[in-house]
Structures are given as structure tokens and as C-alpha cells.
Amino acid sequence: MRKKNFLAALAILAAIVVVACGGAEKAPTETAKAPAAAPASGTASIAGTIAYANGDPDTAISMNADPKCATLHKEPVLTEKIVTGETGGLANVFVYVKAGLPAGKYPVPETTHLLDQKGCQYRPHVSGIRTGQKLIIRNSDPTLHNVHALPKVNQEFNQGQPFENMELERTFDKAEVMVRFKCDVHPWMSSYMGVVDHPFFAVSDAAGSFKIDGLPAGEYTLEAWHEELGTTTQKVSVTEGQAASVAFSFAAGGVPSS
């Protein structure tokens, strides 16, 4: 009977080892994009501003959940959810051409896009990346992080980076606005990345300004996305060599005013 029990225990342990090893981290899904004829680029551009009149003050984060994070900052750290400039411009708004582009595939850039974890915050907080473009995620902190991407149409992943200067590489295969990143270790950490299959996107700066270059002439639907205030769209017509001007405005409560 003892031998029987021992063998049964061995079998159970073996099953666990098999499941554990089989369930280990999956390889990143990268698809090689077949080269296709790229639509002609243009010389038109769209410059614009994002206004947010009801400038709620950003709130400070407590980093006490990880004492190492708290020691990395002398000044209070803000959530970066609502960042407004002195003139009422709204930063961290992802603006991109949602519709109207000529059909075709734009070549994937050779450059990499970096998402850094520094001071227990993601840098940048909001950014854009191309489908198929190489994304490098780095841990620049002297503490551990987990990088948890929460896409809805791309592949979700959650990977640990226990040591400083560790890097991991990922790509997103499908266009998706937006993909949220979070750190489950430090719940205040989040970043948003717009994944688009063309180069016509921008993120508003501290003054609420943005610019999209290289557009061919045409009529486009432009969408502005903000993590707290939602999305708003506008139609814009551009002609070659000209710069069109667009003004987006968000209102409090997440309802765009235009």
C-alpha cells in the first residue's frame, strides 16, 4: 500500500511538472508582413490643438506600496491622467487619421519604439506605434515590474522584469486604438499605445499641440482619444503643400464638446 501511495504521489507530481513546463511563457507572436505597394505619400499636414477648459487639477500618486519607488522621487508624482498647459491645452491626446487614407500598405519602419519604466512610471504615458513595428519595453528602475498589455484584438501578454535594464521585445499585428499597459505590482502605473497601420498619428504635447505630416491631399476623418475624456472626431480636408488647422475641445465628464 505504501508503495502504491508513493507511486500515486510521484505520478501527480510528474503531471504538475508537465503542466507547469507546458504552460510557460508563450513566444511573442510576430508576423512577417509581406511587402506591398505603399500608397503615395504627400506634402500636406494637419496641425492642431486640444483644448480642455475645465482643467481639473491632476492628483498625486502614493508610491508607498513599493518603498523603492517612493525613494525615486523628491517631488510629488501626478497621475498624468489630465495634463493641461498654461493656456488650457490638453496633453497626452492620441490623434490619428481614422478614415480616408488611400488603400495600400505603408512600409513598417525599421526604427524601434521604446516604452520605458522609469521612476515607477511608464515613459511615454501615451504613444503610438505601427503594426509590425518592433516595441522595446525596458525596466530602468531598481525594482521589479511586470508588463501587462491588455489589448482586445491583439495578443494579451504579462511578463516580469525583475531586474534593472532588462528589456523585452514585442510587436502588435493588428491595428488597435488603444492598447493599455499596466503594472500589477504598482497599480498606479499605466500607459496607452495607439497601434495603427499607417504613419499619420501624433500625441499632443504639454501645450496641447500636435502635427501630422506627409499626408496626401484628401478628406480625412481625424479622431482624438483621451484616456479619461473619451474620443471625438472631425472631418478635415487637406491639399498638397498646405497645412490644415484643426481644433479639438474636450469637456469635463468625458463628453467631447465638439
Partner 1 sequence: MSPGPSAAPGGTALHRFALGLACGVVLLIAAGALVKSKEAGLAVPDWPLSYGSLNPPRWWQIENVRAEHGHRLIAGAVALATVALAVLASRREPRRWVRRLAWTAVAAVLAQAVLGGITVLFFLPTAVSVGHAALAEIFLCLIVALAVVTSRRWRAAGAVDPGRAPASAGITSVSPVAATVATVLVYLQILIGAVMRHTGAGLAIPDFPLAFGRLVPPRFDFGIAIHYAHRLGALAVAVAVAAVLAAALRRARREPALAGAAGAMALLVVAQVALGAAVVLGGRAVPVNTAHVATGATLLAASFALTLMSWRLARPAREPRAVARAIGGLGEAAG
Interacting residues toward partner 1 by CB under 8 A: 1-2, 5, 8-9, 12-13, 15-16, 19-20, 23-25, 65-68, 143-144, 146, 148, 156, 158-160, 162-163, 184-187
- Three-state secondary-structure class, residue 13: helix
CA distance 250 to 49: 11
CA distance 61 to 190: 12
Shortest distance in whole angstroms from residue 16 CB to partner 1: 6
Shortest distance in whole angstroms from residue 126 CB to partner 1: 22
Shortest distance in whole angstroms from residue 93 CB to partner 1: 28
Q: Which is nearer to partner 1, 185 or 207 (CB)?
A: 185
Q: Which is nearer to partner 1, 61 or 91 (CB)?
A: 61
Q: Which is nearer to partner 1, 94 or 157 (CB)?
A: 157
CA distance 91 to 135: 23
Shortest distance in whole angstroms from residue 241 CB to partner 1: 49
CA distance 216 to 256: 28
Shortest distance in whole angstroms from residue 62 CB to partner 1: 11
Q: Which is nearer to partner 1, 5 or 111 (CB)?
A: 5
Tell me which long-range contacts 184-188 makes (C-beta under 8 A, separation of at least 24).
184/146, 184/148, 184/158, 185/66, 185/144, 185/145, 185/146, 186/63, 186/65, 186/66, 186/69, 186/120, 186/145, 187/65, 188/61, 188/62, 188/63, 188/79, 188/120
Q: Which is nearer to partner 1, 20 or 37 (CB)?
A: 20
